[in-house]
Structure 1
Amino acid sequence: MMKKITLLFLLFSTITYCQVIITPATFDMNQSITISIDAKSSATNCNKFSNPQKIYIHSGVGDDNNPFGKSVVGNWGQDDGIGEMTLNSTNNRWEITFIPKTYYNLTDSEVATITKMGMVFRNENGSQEFKDNGCNDFVFNVGTFQLTLNSPSNTTTTLNSGQIYSISASTSKAANFTLKANGNIIDQKTNLTNYNYQHTVNQDIDFTLEAIHNGETKSVTFNFIVKPTITEAAIPSGMKDGINFNPTDNTKATLVFYAPMKEFVHVIGDFNNWTRNNMYLLKKDTAKDRFWIELTGLTPQTNHMYQYLVDGVIKVADPYSTSILDPSNDQYINSTTYPNLPTYPTGKTSHAVTLLRTGDEEYQWKTTDFQRPAKTDLVIYELLIRDFDALHSFDAVKARLDYLQGLGINAIEFMPVNEFDGNESWGYNPSFHMALDKYYGTPKAFKQLIDECHRRGIAVIIDVVYNHASGQNPYFRMYSSDSENYDAQVNANSPFFNQTATHSYSVFNDLNHSKQAVKDYVKRTAQYWIEEFKVDGFRWDLTKGFTQNCTNNEGCTNSEQADRVAILKEYADYQWEKDADFYVIFEHLGPNSEETKWVNYRLNEGKGIMVWSNHNWNYSSATRGKHTGRDTRHNRDYSSDFSWISYKNRGWSIPANISYMESHDEERLMFENFDDGNSNGSYNIKSTNIGLQRSELAGAFYFTVPGPKMIWQFGELGYDISINQNGRVGNKPILWNYFNNQERKDIYNTWNKLIQLKLKYDIFKTSDFTLDVANILGLKKIQLSSPNSPEIKYITIVGNFSTTTQNINPTLQKTGVWYDLLDNNKAQNFTNTNNLISLAPGEFKILASAPATLATENLILNHEVLIYPNPVKNSFRLNIKSNKLTLFDINGKKVKEFNGAFNIDKSFNIQELKKGFYILKIVNSKGKSYKKLIIN
């Protein structure tokens, strides 16, 4: 019986490697083979070995669709002897010999289905990996009869009409050849091992070449495309890269595509059945290296879809897509998260496609007068939607805003929400920088969330990742060694990516920010988020990677780089060009001299760049009660001195450091408390109640330091799950039940009060403050002074981070009555500024020269309450309905009260009250709020 095997012609159909050799070159599953590799080969530039002590082969067999699909042998990362190779000192190659049928434990019937063997090599623990020069697994044909197509070398070849092309192939045994063009036989030859044929190309042709030996057939398929005639035409005025909607005709849209070094581009989609058609050939504007086309006949409010077909070969979604459909991941997005999600055109195309809709109504923003918090007042809540709520959606976050508002934060920072690989991710694997990831919901849902945040006085910051892009990115695929392979190697002529990262933190594919194409891409995509979603700021991930000077050089990467400073200033300008008050935040964590340049950039215009400031280790050491010695788990000295949180210690004139005790990237304080906390007798930081109390103590020495602050999600509940559970970026348990635990809720309530203090009282903006936090006995002190403040003029904070009771000298700024603000303003008369205070372990006091009025209720008003006029002379009004208003003077004494059912704009007369500073408590059916009121 004839055995027929059809081989789809991919790169592995011509399977020869100098790095890896199989002897004999053609083999079947029942004969002994030897696989050898040259671990020092220069033929690969991907994942080289570096003096490995052992080498393992991780291999499998399968068919043309999956070379590993039938059986795999090897345990990745384990030094268990399975697949271990031996170094042959004669030829200096690593070798392993086996019979495939036995090695892969296959039956005779399974052997009959095997056509491919795949393999990759590693060191003993898997930290080093060896693949081919396209970062692909090595794949070999199985069978003693093999057909190899030598020319053409690619599946699709583009030719000029009338061009003569030589087709050549070889077989391992003499065979009869048949060549078919578009299904018709055009040539046959017999009893050859080398086949040659010349063909004149006048039209697009799909070829099949068959070779038959003793009844066994091998075949390869390939095609020729005749280059179309390109129309040269200038892009219409005002067009941007990507989709340009026609403002007067919803049946039209103009697509603009930057594609340097490409010859021709078609658009394929639902409007032409995903087929190449010269009616949909894009015009070319050579001067701008761009192709463009006006689509007509579109149906408004319909889910149209399209891709670009580049040079007749590469299918890519629009790099400037605002929504894409994915063939692998969309099926796992439920209808609650994304109602009426369009269906991917399975069977018609491959890879991501762009979603195009015309005629949709624009979102009508409800909050149009949002006033952003001052930079120094920012209390940011960093949030990963996936691990914040089980529904993992924008709507789910919106439903939790009462909780966040009750905590007192005034900004949310979302980890990346642009389209990334897969669904469940941290988001630092971006594929389309301008598209919203559908796993979190619709664009409308995101706008509704932002709108509601603004209504509540909460700013929205999003994490953006412009250091790199994943292999799905269209501009990576268009200029890589294999456009079908997301793990391929970028080409040297790429207008976007470096072949090797030019810094020491290589991640995915490194964008080259010295290229004008990259600058244009960043400007276009970044400004889109500002214009379309009205976000308030960007946190720029891994800004150290924006230099082009420091390939594989840690010292260079971590030192000041002029090119990096210049490009990041330019990117800041892009943002301020669209929004003059936009928050620009860099995650740099680099040299102070470099960060100082950003902090001072355009500061005289009221701008300036903010930077992340990591204090995790110091606060973690403090809460653990570890002030000296060495943490052998992390091979690092304990240090509870967090004085670097002071912007003054950095030589800055403003507090531009967004400081944090935890972030998505750091181990959780409470996990460290429970895992490595100190103890003394019955006082054990590893115990739940004491460990949690230490987080309240840390908060007292964190929120009170002038400057912006950031909380990582659930830190306010003492989240104690390690960052490494389920893998560093893996899903973490969502423990909302923690809020029902009083000991954990105590952190939430204490932090709320601390945030209230920070935001209500001007003393927490003073530049006159000192931090005495280096004491190795665990006693710490912060002092703030604001003698001209109309409210609190002095604050001294003392705390005991040790595990024993100790006395501390507060060295108060004055004698007299002081108030413990977090102990219901408990008063104590100090006749001597050096009167010792006894503090139990974990105890702290916030002493103030005047009492503070703090809300103790968990519910606060959903509306941003406005008092006008303020300052006031005789009467004031509110922008909300109210039932009860209470005025307190600076000492917390109630001086006036209004009760009733008051409408918006009701006038409240206070002309009998003295000039001064007051706190107004406002109550209505939705909750309570506290606002400052000044009478003059």
Structure 2
Amino acid sequence: MRKITLIFILITSLTYSQTQNVEFSTSPTTFNEDDAITITVSNVNTSIWGVSDIYLWSWSYDLDDLNSQDSPTNGSWTNSDEAQKLTNNNDGTFSITITPSNFYNRTGIGSIGMLIKAKNGDGDKKSQDIIYQVGDEPDAPNVIEAAVPNGMLDGINYHENNDTKVTLVLYAPEKEYVHLIGSFNDWKRDNDNYLLKKDSDKKRFWIELTGLTAKTNYSYQYLIDGQIRIADPYSTQILDPNDDQYINETTYPNLPVYPSGKTDHLVTLLRTGDGEFNWQITNFQKPAKTDLVIYELLIRDFDELHSFDAVKERLNYLQGLGINAIELMPINEFDGNLSWGYNPSYHMAIDKYYGSPTSFKQLVDECHKRGIAIILDVVYNHATGQNPFYRMWNSSNGGTGGQANANSPFFNQTATHSYSVFNDFNHSKQAVQDYVKRTTQYLIDEYKIDGFRWDLTKGFTQNCSSSDEGCTGNYQQDRVDILKEYADYQWEKDPNFYVIFEHLGGNAEETEWINYRLGEGKGIMMWGNHNYNYSSATRGKHSGSYSSDFSWASYKNRGWSVPANVSYMESHDEERLMYENISDGNSNGSYDVKTINTALQRIELAGAFYFTIPGPKMIWQFGELGYDISINENGRTGNKPIKWEYFDDENRKSIYNTWNKLIQLKQKYAIFKTDNFTIDASNSNGLKRIQLTNTSTSDIQHINIIGNFGVTTQNINPVFQKTGTWYNLLNDNEALNVTNTNSLITLAPGEFKVYGDNMAALAVENISIIDEVIMYPNPTNDYFKLNIKTNSIKLFDISGKKIKEYIGSFNAYKPFSIKDLVKGIYFIKIDKSNQSLKLIKN
């Protein structure tokens, strides 16, 4: 007999369910199939399910951990059998006693699986799964000692000109042996053919996998010391037994199927012979850093199709706004499907909820065609419990909970900074540095990414504690050094790579980073949060506990020699300006910032005093349409309404149009790169002014921006830089003859002017917010949706006979029922498109 090994704890996306992560234990902790054991559950909250009783749902496997059979007394999912009700111990725990051979009515049991649930488990009123092995550990296999072949990297190594083999390498210090199990050996451990060789010097195990068929999907795991099953830590795609079922065919066509009944936990997808992606753009020239206008985007909340393809079809809209970079919130494989992405588990894999690796490459390629750079938000402060390197050394014996063991080569037992979430990477460890280098460089090579925004860089120190904010916020040399090293990793692959830190900390550290390798044209950029000040300004609140002075958006106020601050009025992390306006705006008489149209006009005003400040800028999605849904609606990180109908509202579209003109000015005219500028934003009555000068250019040499952020009509002294003719650049170059540079100008509340001493040529385009009509789900059983508004939909069978018609005023994403149709192929024609779309009814 042996000590029972906890194989895994499987977390289901809480977004879809009421799943709880509870604690299981057995007494005795070692048992055979004919031993009586007591299973005890703790850390369960029955009130979440609205019940007082809980039930065991269980199954068993044979000696090969295959051939799953349910307990004969499970009952049904909606009505558990009373025989499997746990006893309430009245101390927060529940127990049940079983003898496996009797309970499962079988012998030759290799492992047992279980979860606890409400009597009616609908709505996923259940816990995570847990697996225990039964019986004695098999004899330790004879591991061959051999050096890892030259040139092999951690993870999957493909062989050029040979699609029949790959070499797999796993870093696993202090582990005794590793088996490869997968679709090629029916998930059975095999000492003769699939036991990895061991390179003790490099602390790695490796195997050359042969006999593969090109363009065939394989899946595999590593079985470590006969106990822990993990997917490859360097997986480029994983399959998930829970989350994949929610990914539809439109998002990810032909998604490989998880090997249910064969194994548990996440598995690695492996495929050879597909060849290199045919990149159309191979020499993309990145926009200059100072010209950057970045659009931060959460795919989930940007388009209902939540896919790379859907973003690609919206590029006309984004290009029309004038942005030249898209920053995607984390797309690396994360737990669940519906997430902001800051819960990463596999840093080298792309999360399938957004589509396939090929569809992501197609998005990158199309962006590059349009002059748009792609920046990824990456999260290396921490990883979730699903991360294989966490599971290999933790107190839950390979589960996803507990804490890291003291001997973990990757994770701290407790966080060494005050912003801890999930499991804290120890960046002083060589293994972590290798992991960061391998995964980041892969993303640059494989996907032609143009930049990374590094999340939570304050957490990269090893010098502090989780309760010491003062230490975390102060200068930390180890943090400065390791992040410089990580910048070098990126520039090693792409000398012009954008490296951006979300530090939001002390100026000393940030100054050191922005100056790092600056003489080589590099240097690190920093996120600059100015939400509070711009929000105060747009609300019309300028004194007391409010400060509308946004002059810190000037890099010169930081003492920097270059505009390295990626300034923003909104990001994913801040309350939306429009929501603040309509919930907390100031007023005076009939002028009320809380009024929708007034609030929208003040967002245009904010843009005039934002895009015109030299340096890179960032927009949070839909800010250009005055998005007014609170960040806290449906929970801070929960799904938010997708409001493409805003584009049909002329008052909202006016922001888009005005910001487009401002972005054009920024990117077309050299004066907006000048270092000769001033920001006068401290006036407590809300009058503000920006002035720029560049006499070395032949077009616009002087800019004077004036605006009234107050709630009353006021006079402002523009202090024009010279007399003569000035032009209102956003109002068709309307001329103003200035004979006295200090003549007062009257501005209504919310009014602003952008004056130049020469005219500006600004393009005006009619923008389509979408390029292609998309129908989904397809195939489908009950309904389909379209991504556009429509008034007429006609549905024809394969013979051309019209069998259904929908007439009305239908919004995008309205479901159209086809429950009454028989299985078959149909064709749909839409009033707003010449396309004929094929629909498959299952």
TM-score (structure 1 length as normaliser): 0.72
Matched, 1:364 2:272: no
Alignment match, 2:606: 698
Structure 1 gap ranges (5+) = 1-6, 18-25, 30-34, 38-45, 48-55, 68-107, 121-137, 150-176, 185-204, 209-218, 630-636, 863-936
1:150-184 CA-to-partner distances (Å, cap 9, x unmatched) read xxxxxxxxxxxxxxxxxxxxxxxxxxx99x9x958
Per the alignment, residue 348 of structure 2 pairs with 434
Q: Which amino acid aligns with 1:812?
A: F
* Offset at residue 823 of structure 1 (A): 1.3
> Counterparts of 1:60 and 1:799 in 2: how far apart (Å)?
62
Displacement of 1:789 after TM fit? Answer: 1.3
SS of residue matched to 2:490: helix
Structure 1 SS opposite 2:491: helix
Structure 1 residue 235 corresponds to structure 2 residue 119: no
Q: Give the equivalent residue in structure 1 for 2:186.
A: 273
For 1:600 and 1:380, locate their aligned partners in 2 and report how far apart those are by CA, in whole Å. Answer: 22
- 1:658-714 deviation digits (Å, cap 9, x = unpaired): 000000000000000000000111111000110000000000000000000000000
DSSP-derived class of the 2:725 partner? strand
Give the letter for the 2:26 counterpart. Answer: T
| CA drift at 1:504 | 0.4
Residue 558 (structure 1) shift: 0.8
- Is 1:553 the equivalent of 2:468? yes
Pick one of 40, 47, 54 that aligns with 1:62.
Answer: 54
2:85 maps to: 114
SS of residue matched to 2:395: coil
Compared with structure 1, are the counterparts of its residues 810 and 525 closer, same or farther at alpha carbon in structure 2 (3 Å cutoff)? same
CA deviation after TM superposition for structure 1 residue 847, in Å: 1.0
The secondary structure found in structure 2 opposite 1:514 is coil
**Could you list the per-position Cα deviations for residues 548-568 of structure 1 after superposition, in whole angstroms to 9, with x for gaps in the alignment?**
111121111111110000000
Structure 1 segment 103-502 matched on structure 2, within 5 A? 112-115=83-86, 117=88, 139-142=93-96, 221-278=134-191, 279-483=193-397, 485-502=399-416
Shift of 1:28: 14
> What is the DSSP-based 3-state SS (H/G/I as helix, E as strand, rest coil) of the residue aligned with 1:649?
helix
Separation (CA, whole Å) in 2 of partners of 1:384 and 1:16: 48
Amino acid in structure 2 at the alignment position of 1:624: R
Cα deviation, residue 861, structure 1: 15
In the TM superposition, residue 361 of structure 1 has moved relative to its aligned partner by: 2.0
Amino acid in structure 1 at the alignment position of 2:162: D
1:598 aligns to 2:598 (yes or no): no
Compared CA separation, residues 9 and 259, structure 1 to 2 (3 A):
closer
What is the letter of the counterpart of residue 579 of structure 1?
Answer: D
For the pair shown, the structure with the greater C-alpha radius of gyration is 1
Q: Which amino acid aligns with 1:705?
A: I
Residues 262, 117 of structure 1: CA spacing in aligned structure 2 closer, same or farther, 3 A cutoff? farther
Asked if the contact 2:723–2:738 (Cα under 8 Å) also holds between the matched residues in 1, the reply is yes
**Displacement, 1:221?**
3.2
Whole-angstrom CA distance in 2 between matches of 1:261 and 1:235: 17
Do structure 1's residue 821 and structure 2's residue 734 form an aligned pair? Answer: no
Moved more, 851-860 or 737-746: 851-860
Deviations 1:352-408, CA, capped at 9 Å, x for gaps: 000000111210100122111000000000000000001000010000000000000
Instruction: Classify 1:116/1:530 alpha carbon distance in 2 versus 1 (closer, same or farther; 3 Å).
Output: farther
Identity of aligned residues (%): 66
Residue of structure 2 in register with 1:721 after alignment: 629
Q: Secondary structure of 2:698's match?
A: coil
Runs of at least 4 residues off by over 6 Å? 7-11, 26-29, 56-59
Residue 296 to residue 842, structure 1, CA distance change in 2 (3 Å): same
Q: 1:60 to 1:563 in 2, by over 3 A?
A: farther
Does residue 679 in structure 1 map to residue 573 in structure 2? no
Alignment of 1:748-897 (within 5 A): 748-859=656-767
Could you tell me whether the CA contact under 8 Å between 1:59 and 1:119 is conserved in 2?
A: no
Amino acid at match of 2:274: D
Q: Which moved more, 1:795-804 or 1:815-824?
A: 815-824
**Structure 1 residues 59 and 570 mapped into 2: Cα distance closer, same or farther (>3 Å)?**
farther
Is the 2:393–2:404 Cα contact (8 Å) retained in structure 1? yes
Counterpart secondary structure, 1:225: coil
Distance 1:824 1:9, change over 3 A: closer
Is the alpha carbon distance of 1:260 and 1:731 closer, same or farther for their aligned partners in structure 2, counting shifts above 3 Å?
same
Uncovered stretches (5+) of structure 2, i.e. residues with no partner: 8-22, 30-36, 60-78, 113-131, 771-842
- TM superposition shift of 1:65: 3.9
Residues 1:57 and 1:370: Cα distance change in structure 2 (over 3 Å): closer
* Partner SS for 1:280: coil
The letter of the residue matching 2:324 is: N
Separation of aligned partners in 2, 1:64 and 1:861:
51
Residues 691-740 of structure 1 show CA distances to partners (whole Å, capped at 9, x for unaligned) of 00000000000000000000000000000000000000000000100000
Contact in 2 for aligned 1:671/1:719 (Cα 8 Å): yes
Mapped pair 1:572 → 2:487: yes
- Give the distance between the partners of 1:534 and 1:694, measured in 2 at CA: 38
Q: Are 2:26 and 1:14 aligned? A: yes
Q: CA deviation at 1:488?
A: 2.2
- Partner of 1:758: helix, strand, or coil? helix
Taking a change above 3 Å as real, the CA distance of residues 224 and 831 of structure 1, as seen in their structure-2 partners, is: same
Give the match for residue 918 of structure 1: none
SS in 1 for 2:164: coil
CA distance in 2, matches of 1:769, 1:848: 14
Deviation of the 1:816 alpha carbon? 1.1
Distance 1:737 1:418 in 2: 30
The Cα shift of 1:113 comes to: 2.6
**Equivalent residues, number:** 702
CA deviations on 1:744-772 (whole Å, 9 max, x unpaired) are: 00000000000000000000000000000
CA contact (8 A) 2:27 2:39 kept: no
Shift of residue 492 of structure 1?
1.4
CA distance in 2 between counterparts of 1:467 and 1:667 reads 24
1:709 to 613, 617, 626: 617
For the residues of structure 1 that align with 2:39 and 2:202, how far apart are their CA atoms?
54
Report SS of the residue matched to 2:219.
Answer: strand
Secondary structure of residue in 2 paired with 1:371: coil
- Whether the 8 Å contact between 2:173 and 2:203 is mirrored in structure 1 is yes
Instruction: Give the Cα separation in 2 of the matches to 1:347 and 1:356.
Output: 19
**Is 1:582 equivalent to 2:536 in the alignment?**
no
Match of 2:829 in 1: none
Indicate whether 1:741 and 2:656 are aligned: no
Q: CA deviation at 1:812?
A: 1.0
Q: Which amino acid aligns with 1:533?
A: Y
Displacement of 1:857 after TM fit?
2.1
Contact conserved, 1:63 with 1:116, CA < 8 A, in 2?
no
Displacement, 1:249? 1.4
CA distance in 2 between counterparts of 1:769 and 1:336 reads 50
C-alpha distance in 2, partners of 1:535/1:607?
17
Change (3 A) 1:650 1:16: farther
Are the counterparts in 2 of residues 477 and 486 from structure 1 also a CA contact under 8 Å? yes
Contact 1:480 1:488 in 2 (8 A): yes
Offset at 1:224? 1.4
Distance in 2, matches of 1:746 and 1:119, equals: 63
TM-score (norm 2): 0.80
2:787 is matched with none
Write the letter of the residue equivalent to 1:507: V
